[in-house]
Structure 1
Amino acid sequence: MRRRVIDKGQEIPTIVARMWGQEPKTSHGPRPSLTLDRITEAAIGIADAEGLAGVRMSSVAARLGVSPMALYGYVGSKEELLTAMVDAATPPPPEPGGQHWRDYLAAWSRAYRDFLLGSPWLLEVSPLAPPTGPRALDWLDRLLVALSGVGLKPGEGVNIATALSAYAVSSAALAHSLRGGADETDMAAPGDYGAILARLVDPARFPGLSAALGAGAFGGGQEWVEDADFTFGLGLLLDGIEALITLRAKEEQ
């Protein structure tokens, strides 16, 4: 098997370098009046108030009292601005603090979902892109710390972080939609969705779905409990991780 050689001289994208505080240094001319932190703070304020559609280079510049061209010395495009915004809006992760790995991963996943729900515009900005900023990498690091010593193979901890973060993203997106946060649908709860499906689904074509509807899987007059659904799915994932850890321990015997 050929090993991939990591080029440690690989050039870091400018926006990523700035996210890590590696601003170009100069001893000539006046001190710059802007910083990436100021720009992202202004952009996040607009996104929180108006949604992502309100974030434009012109609107951010107006909020800062500068010309749009002044921003391009710090972010080369709106895409770069969004990249920096996502990391800047990411809060610190919960600390492992000696917790059992399962308890920590449950808390980690819940906190990940909750901060996305707190700023729903994050769900529109490639939330599954590989993390490159310091705040996003804090989340990956803490999860790997919690899993250290459980006997997983190299790379499996990263795969677990990918699975849990993807679950948190999808759960946050669903919860946001069912709270009435999505423009595409007026259905405010699974019961509404189920009522519409019941009028559309032919039992001959969709026997499994029809049976689930008849059993009340989509509400059926019952109150939807958002956290119960999230906890159920998270438990399945954690059970799978626990089974993997048990398997790796048996392989070492």
Structure 2
Amino acid sequence: MADERARPELPPVIARMWGREPASRRGPKPSLDLARITAAAVEIADAEGLGAVSMNSVAARLGVAPMSLYRYVGSKDELLLAMLDAVSGEPPALGDLSRREYLYVWTKANADVLVARPWALGIAHTGARMGPPMGPRGLRWLDHLLRALADTPLSEGEKIGIATTLSVYALSQASLITALAPAGSVGSHLPASSTLYGELLAELVDEESYPALTRAVDSRAFVAGSAEWYDRETDFRFGLDLLLDGIDALIARRTGTADTRP
């Protein structure tokens, strides 16, 4: 008996991101396409921030009427989706890296994309509403990570779960890096460094009310080797290693071995 379930129809903007828009057989060739519209929106966001991106501002940059954009992009959310995929670039090559090291490189590169364009970070934070990646670049990132896990005994669902977990870590760390950047802390109540933060905590906490935190302050846990709050190499890797240790442990439980190559 034939499967009666119909194949779901691609949302129009997704189809256009994949170059699957049907060609018009009549009339002149359209002067616009999704790539041009997306590039114009990215230029505006790079120059003025995400708040400056609107259907009107994009249309003005392209020299067309705003309504003409709606043939290609049904809403601003669809435009944001296309913008994020456009600036995602290509995932790191697997090369000869061990599985564990590739997962680190993949996650770090994921975060770097967002840090390089804070407005893209703003779009990524709306991911719960926009859904999982469906653009060609976003899915190449996912495909590369799944390939890195191909020789493990994990189920495909578990591999997807790992991809989600590492993507969320990249997003959270990119948010932290951006928030703690010097330019982002000007005029805020944020202390100039984690060392100064520890000194302020020493004035606020006491052993009776905050015994564990007092021990951390007394042990100089907040004293950093530099004036910065966040060391992109040391701090990023520490947290990610906790996740990678868990992935290695899961694989080890299934096979009796883990990828421990540096």
* TM-score of the pair, normalised by structure 2: 0.85
Q: Which residue number corresponds to residue 146 of structure 2?
A: 144
Structure 1 residue identity aligned to 2:110 = Y
Aligned to 1:73: 71
1:164 aligns with 2:166: yes
Among 227, 234, 237, the alignment partner of 1:228 is: 234
Give 2:123's match in structure 1, choosing from 125, 135, 146.
Answer: 125
What are structure 2's unaligned runs of at least 5 residues?
258-262
CA contact (8 A) 2:84 2:124 kept: no
Percent identical: 49
1:115 matched to 2:118? The reply is: no
CA contact (8 A) 1:180 1:186 kept: no
Q: 1:153 to 1:222 in 2, by over 3 A?
A: same
- Give deviations 1:106-130, integer Å, cap 9, x for gaps: 1111111111111111111134441
Q: TM-score by structure 1 length?
A: 0.88
**Paired positions, count:** 247
CA RMSD of aligned residues (A): 2.5
Q: 1:58 deviation in Å?
A: 1.2
State how far apart, in whole Å, the 2-side matches of 1:94 and 1:212 are: 38
Change (3 A) 1:191 1:70: farther
1:246 to 243, 252, 257: 252
Distance (Å, rounded) in 2 between the aligned partners of 1:196 and 1:53: 35
Paired amino acid for 1:209: L
The 3-state SS of whatever aligns with 1:125 is helix
Check if 1:190 corresponds to 2:188: no
Cα distance in 2 for residues equivalent to 1:6 and 1:215: 66
Q: Which runs of 5+ in 1 are unaligned?
A: none
Is the alpha carbon distance of 1:202 and 1:67 closer, same or farther for their aligned partners in structure 2, counting shifts above 3 Å?
A: farther
Contact 1:144-1:158 within 8 A present in 2 as well? yes
**1: distance between equivalents of 2:163 and 2:251?**
15
Corresponding residue for 1:213?
Answer: 217
Q: Kindly provide the CA deviation profile for residues 36-92 of structure 1, in whole angstroms up to 9, marking residues without a partner as x.
A: 001111111111111111111111111111111111111111111101111011110
Measured in 2, the distance between the counterparts of 1:196 and 1:29 equals: 70
Whole-angstrom CA distance in 2 between matches of 1:172 and 1:122: 10
Paired residues of 1:178 and 1:190 also in contact (CA < 8 A): no
Q: Which amino acid aligns with 2:245?
A: D
For 1:7 and 1:125, how far apart are their aligned partners in 2? Answer: 33
